Amino acid sequence: MDLIECKKMNKNYQNGKIEAQILKEIDLTIHTSEFVGITGPSGSGKTTLLYVLSGLEKPSGGTLSLFGKPIGDYSETDLSELRKRRIGFVFQFYNLVPNLTVRENMMLAWIIGKNQDETIIDELLQLVGMKEFQNHYPNQISGGMQQRIAVARSLINDPEILFADEPTGNLDTKNGKDIMELLRKLHRENGKTIVLVTHSDDYLQYCSRNIKLVDGMIVKDEILSL
Amino acid sequence: MVVFLTLTLSMTLTILILGMNNGFSQIFYHQLQDPYLNVDMTLTYDSNSESRILNKRGLTERYSAYYRFAACFFNYYSLIGSGDDPGYYAQVFSGAVIDLENLIDTDLGVLNDGEMFVTRSMADKHGLSENDTVRLYVSGSEVPYRIKAILPDRGLFAGEAVFVNKVELLQRLFSLSGLSNLGNIVYIDLIDPAQADTVSGLLSEDPDYSGFVAAPTADPLVIKMITKNTSALFIGVGGITLIAVLVVLNSVFPLLFQDFRQQIGIIKTLGGDHRFSLSIWLTQFLLMSMGAVPLGIYLAWAVFNQGAAILGIQSVIRLGGAVVLVSLAAYLLFVGGEVLIRFRRLIRQSGVALTYDHRHEWVRGGFIVLGVSGILFVVQKLTEAFSEPVNALLSMIFGIVFCFTLCDFLASMIGAGLSRKKQKSLFGLFGAQNLRSNKIVRSSLRVAMISIVVIALNLTVRSFIEADSMTLKNNVLADYFLTNIVDDPVAVQTQISAEYDVEAMQDAIIYRYISMDLSQDETPRRRRAVFFISLPPENMDAFFDYEFDSGVLEKLADTQTPYITVSEGVGKIYGLKVGDEVVVELGRDNPQMTFIIAGFIHTNYHGIVFSNLYRLEAFANAGMANTVIIKNGDDETLKPGLMAKYNARLYYLVDFQELFAEGMDEIFLVMDFMSLLAYSIVIGFVIVIINNSLLLFYSLKNDYAKLKILGLSPTGLAGQLGREVLSITIIAAFCSFLALCVLIPHLGPLMLFATFYKTIPWDALSTGWRTLAAAGVLIFSYAFYLHRVLRLDPITEIKTY
Ligand SMILES: Nc1ncnc2c1ncn2[C@@H]1O[C@H](COP(=O)(O)OP(=O)(O)OP(=O)(O)O)[C@@H](O)[C@H]1O
Ligand SMILES: [Mg+2]
């Protein structure tokens, strides 16, 4: 099934008077159970592409469908519903709420998702190996740990697709690998579709497909053998 | 921008509060003086004068060196008719044309006998035009006058007024010719207005004029008194407002602080010198102040002048250099101090710590402050250890500190309670946590609370003034009193009831403007009683609706000991107790009469005293009764009739209702001005709240962005925000309500610091309503905040973090 499909999609940003075209004529389809790695030089538009594909930002031109429905047909509420149920996010800066404990951060997403079973929180904390730190505040644990919590949080509503923007960008090799292993596990064992933006080609070994952006254009789109 | 606005408003509010006294005194001066134009003093009769006609000749002969002009007028109220209109009352001015020219500072030309000038408003009201004929009723006959010209209202010659030649008028009235020096009022333009006191002193010694009153048109003493009394009402409100300004300023600094701590953190980690960043910081404040201070001063100036314009004053009201300097000094002291203290705290921390997120901080020590202020408040209330105003001040301070801390404490408790709850909700998790520990939320809460207090307090004082003046009016049931009666007042009553339909009458003793010495030791402390009244206490009810201490009315019936009763406020101002002695100057025959305080009158009007003089045996045969107090049914002819009939006998008719109506006009004018002041303060605080909500927004937008990314829908977010705002408002409103309950009853005693007193009534219901109204304003101001958060673009937020 095609989760995301876009044709001749553009994204412009207004910088003062100048309108800069960041994404140019993107043709792309993302299917269920893919693990897409988006690479490219800094400033090539990777983050922008991720935000547009996930519906956080609107494309400036071309077409984009999410879950088979054109983006224009989604209302604000529909989009938040999507984020709540079908899409998860992980960012480079972990984006935890600083005055809530690890568990409360999980709880926040859980409440917003209106989930029934609270045991999912424990399961996920277990999964990312953070159970014993559940009562710590974010500034009391390391960056790698925070990112693991962020991944766990993104999974709380069992999304179909996970968007991750350089989740390892702030981590050392060891912690980076741990996160990637976690993502791989999610992909393989739980069948999640993952769209990952990464700087480093090393991590492409985890992906099933590589899209390379240069200056806002797709210059490479290849299936990787796992 | 937020900081700039706050600095500006702080400056404005400080000047408004500190400059109130100065502003009021100029406004009252202009209100009194402006109609008189060049005239600096008047010489005329009052109810104590033995003659109503004075001769200007002595003035010309002996005092002409002092004045530029002395215009001698004969003025009176008269019935006037025109066309088919049977008649209406108007002020008749009469004098020489040159006198009127001087009085209204206008060239007029010739006015022949049989001609008159009328004012524009008179002409408009009664449809008069030039050359029309107007009938003046003089000594029982109609005299026709031709309107020579219609003059625009100016100075005293305004409202319903006409002007005719005095010599001609006096000839008709008294059948004597050439009476150009006679009149009943002289308007004097002094060469040096500062000599008004000297001249009135000289005149009071002069046998020709000692029976008359020479008074400056704008008596500095009178102005000082009205100013003091008006400002006294605002002491409490002003003090709280200043505290509020401090709280608000204090709440704004974290915003700058946030930027600077990171900046300094970076400079520090790079090994830079913090003196450099201090200078950047100070320069930034200086630059902002360079805009904010002049703008603040201008706004304060605009409020005063707008107020003056409402009162119809054309002159410019100045703020006064001293006020501006003091306000500026206070401003610099506070802002500078705040910058330095925060800076010092900053540089003690390590560079890395500074770059952390520091929005959250657990609040400690609240318990102790809460407990101590609460205990101090109770102890103070129980012991009442100091003088009344000091007690009031202490209670207010302890009370407000208590409520303030309670506000913090409640927020913590509710926050903690919600987050401990088993059944988690978004609000319980996110909102509660903010209530508990977010510094900006906490300061926002404080600003909200103090704003509610300030707004509600302003509403209270304003409505108090309105209600109070109504009560003063309603306390007097009598309509007129006819005083200066030299014959037997009982005989006068018989005459009156023969002619008119009067509801009630009572012969009584009334003196006006007599001096009392209320001191209980050697140094005299004098005060003038506007009405010194004595009538049989059993008939009091028919004419006055005052509430007395118990036992007072019995003592006023005493025939042996002279008793007096003064208002509660006078009692408090002079520290009088029941049984204290008061020495009263009752005219030439009884210059030093000692009365005993019988108790107090429960009124906020301090000009009235009652005594049992009427009943004293010692005076039974002295014929003291000089007055008939009259309560009219609804006979419209009564007043003009009495005036026409008894004016000739030099009796003096005082119209209570008119007196109060005039007083009310004044009060309403002052109130308009106060409202303006109050509304400026309220608007100032609304802006402050909006400002503050912006701060809150900046502090929390990142978290809101995260909620949005997690899929919280717009409605869900609005609900979350609504609950947050509501909980802040409810906590703030609750604590404000408590604070108001403490503050309002103490406002009266607090005025004793300015030797003034009014009982300001407190009741839970209206205090509650005003708190709600103010809280409504608060929620309204937060609407802006809701709007901002709902429009928040999460991407921009997420990208920067
Ligand atoms: N909100 C914005 N307004 C204007 N220009 C923007 C905005 N966001 C991004 N850009 C520009 O778009 C281009 C692509 O940005 P983007 O963040 O997508 O790059 P990236 O590939 O993710 O880079 P990096 O690897 O450094 O994260 C950059 O040149 C950036 O300056
Ligand atoms: Mg990027």
pTM, entire model: 0.77
Residue A207 CB burial class (10 angstroms; 0-12, 13-18, ≥19): buried
Query: B75 CB contacts (<8 Å, ≥6 apart)?
Result: B91, B92, B93, B94, B184, B185
Q: What is the DSSP string of chain A?
A: -EEEEEEEEEEEEEETTEEEEEEEEEEEEEETT-EEEEE-STTSSHHHHHHHHTTSS--SEEEEEETTEEGGG--HHHHHHHHHHTEEEE-SS----TTS-HHHHHHHHHHHTT-S-THHHHHHHHHTT-GGGTTS-GGGS-HHHHHHHHHHHHTTT--SEEEEESTTTTS-HHHHHHHHHHHHHHHHHH--EEEEE-S-GGGGGG-SEEEEEETTEEEEEEEPP-
For B298, how many CA atoms within 13 A lie in the half-sphere containing its CB?
A: 7
Q: Which of B464, B462, B449, B461 is nearest to B774 (CA)?
A: B449
Over residues B411-450, the pLDDT tens digits come to 888 888 877 776 667 777 777 777 777 777 877 888 888 8
What phi and psi values does residue B473 have, to the nearest 5 degrees? -70, -45
Range of the domain at B152: 75-180
The predicted pLDDT at position B801 comes to 45
- Distance, in Å, from the CA atom of B287 to the CA atom of A2, rounded to the nearest integer, reads 58
In a domain, residue B35? The reply is no
Q: Do A81 and B711 touch (CB under 8 A)?
A: yes
Three-class secondary structure of residue B28 per DSSP: helix
Q: Do B795 and A157 touch (CB under 8 A)?
A: no
Q: Which one of B352, B709, B789, B793 would you mutate to disrupt binding with A, by most A Cβ within 10 Å of its Cβ?
A: B709
Q: Which one of A13, A111, A157 would you mutate to disrupt binding with B, by most B Cβ within 10 Å of its Cβ?
A: A111
Say what angle helices B20-33 and B656-709 make with each other, to 10 degrees.
140
In a domain, residue B476? The reply is no
Per CATH, which fold does A32-59+75-223 belong to?
Rossmann fold (3.40.50)
In a domain, residue B445? The reply is yes
Three-class secondary structure of residue B185 per DSSP: strand
Q: Which of B442, B301, B486 is nearest to B731 (CA)?
A: B442
Q: Which of B587, B569, B500 is nearest to B755 (CA)?
A: B569
User: Residue whose CA is closest, atom 12 of ligand 1?
Assistant: A22
In a domain, residue B778? The reply is yes
- Report whether pLDDT(B748) > 50: yes
- Report whether pLDDT(B644) > 70: no
Neighbours of A222 (CB within 10 A): 10
- Per the structure, how many domains does chain B have? 5
Give CA angle at B365 (B364, B371), nearest 5°. 140
- Distance, in Å, from the CA atom of B621 to the CA atom of B374, rounded to the nearest integer, reads 62
Tell me which amino acid residue B348 is. Answer: R
Q: H or E stretch including B121?
A: helix B120-126
**Whats the size of chain A, residue-wise?**
226
CB contacts < 8 A, A to B, total 80
User: What are B186's strand-pairing partners?
Assistant: B43, B72
Q: Is the dihedral of CA B671, B675, B676, B680 positive or negative?
A: positive
Distance A213 CA to ligand 1 centre (A): 12
CA-to-CA dists, residue B81 to B139, B143, B149, B153, B554, angstroms: 15, 10, 17, 20, 51
Q: Do B703 and A89 touch (CB under 8 A)?
A: no
Any idea which residue has 């309002």 for tokens?
B744
In a domain, residue B655? The reply is no
Over residues B12-43, the pLDDT tens digits come to 888 888 888 888 888 888 888 888 888 889 88
Mean pLDDT of A1-21: 86
- Report whether pLDDT(B362) > 70: no
- Mutational pocket test of ligand 1: of A10, A21, A22, the residue with most ligand atoms within 8 Å of the beta carbon: A22
- Distance, in Å, from the CA atom of B712 to the CA atom of B715, rounded to the nearest integer, reads 8
B176 and B80 co-located in one domain: yes
B194 and B173 co-located in one domain: no
B292 and B198 co-located in one domain: no
Query: A127 CB contacts (<8 Å, ≥6 apart)?
Result: A152, A155, A182
Query: B99 CB contacts (<8 Å, ≥6 apart)?
Result: B69, B71, B72, B73, B166, B187
Nearest ligand for residue A91 CA = 2
The predicted pLDDT at position B800 comes to 56
Is the CB of residue A54 below 6 angstroms from any atom belonging to ligand 1?
A: no
CA-to-CA dists, residue B444 to A161, B126, B453, B692, B702, angstroms: 40, 60, 14, 6, 18
Distance A46 CA to ligand 1 centre (A): 8
Where are the domains positioned within chain A?
Answer: 32-59+75-223
Mean pLDDT of B40-58: 80
Tell me which amino acid residue A156 is. Answer: I
- Mutational pocket test of ligand 1: of A39, A47, A57, the residue with most ligand atoms within 8 Å of the beta carbon: A47
- Report whether pLDDT(B353) > 70: no
Q: Do B795 and A57 touch (CB under 8 A)?
A: yes
- Out of B358, B374, B400, pick the residue that ends a domain: B358
User: Between A203 and B671, where is the model more confident?
Assistant: A203
B552 and B685 co-located in one domain: no
User: What are B71's strand-pairing partners?
Assistant: B187
B391 and B252 co-located in one domain: no
- Report whether pLDDT(B395) > 70: yes
B446 and B543 co-located in one domain: no
Three-class secondary structure of residue B753 per DSSP: helix
Q: How confident is the model at residue B152 (pLDDT cuts 50, 70, 90)?
A: very high
Q: Which of B538, B577, B572 is nearest to B556 (CA)?
A: B538
B513 and B622 co-located in one domain: yes
Over residues A63-79, the pLDDT tens digits come to 999 998 999 899 888 88
- Report whether pLDDT(B210) > 60: yes
The predicted pLDDT at position B356 comes to 54
Strand order of the β-sheet with A2-15 is: A18-31, A2-15, A61-66, A69-70
B196 and B249 co-located in one domain: no
Domain CATH code at residue B91: 2.40.40
B62 and B200 co-located in one domain: yes
B505 and B627 co-located in one domain: yes
> Phi/psi class of residue B731: alpha, beta or left (left: φ > 0; alpha: ψ in -120 to 50)?
alpha
What phi and psi values does residue B594 have, to the nearest 5 degrees? -95, 130
Distance A101 CA to ligand 2 centre (A): 28
**ipTM for the complex shown:** 0.84
Q: Which of B243, B792, B731 is nearest to B441 (CA)?
A: B731
Q: Which of B40-44, B244-248, B332-336 has the highest mean pLDDT?
A: B40-44
Q: Do B714 and A104 touch (CB under 8 A)?
A: no
Q: How far is CA B178 from the centre of its chain?
A: 49
Mean pLDDT of B701-718: 84
Q: Which of B530, B518, B606 is nearest to B567 (CA)?
A: B606
B643 and B684 co-located in one domain: no
B502 and B594 co-located in one domain: yes
Over residues B686-704, the pLDDT tens digits come to 777 777 777 777 778 888 8
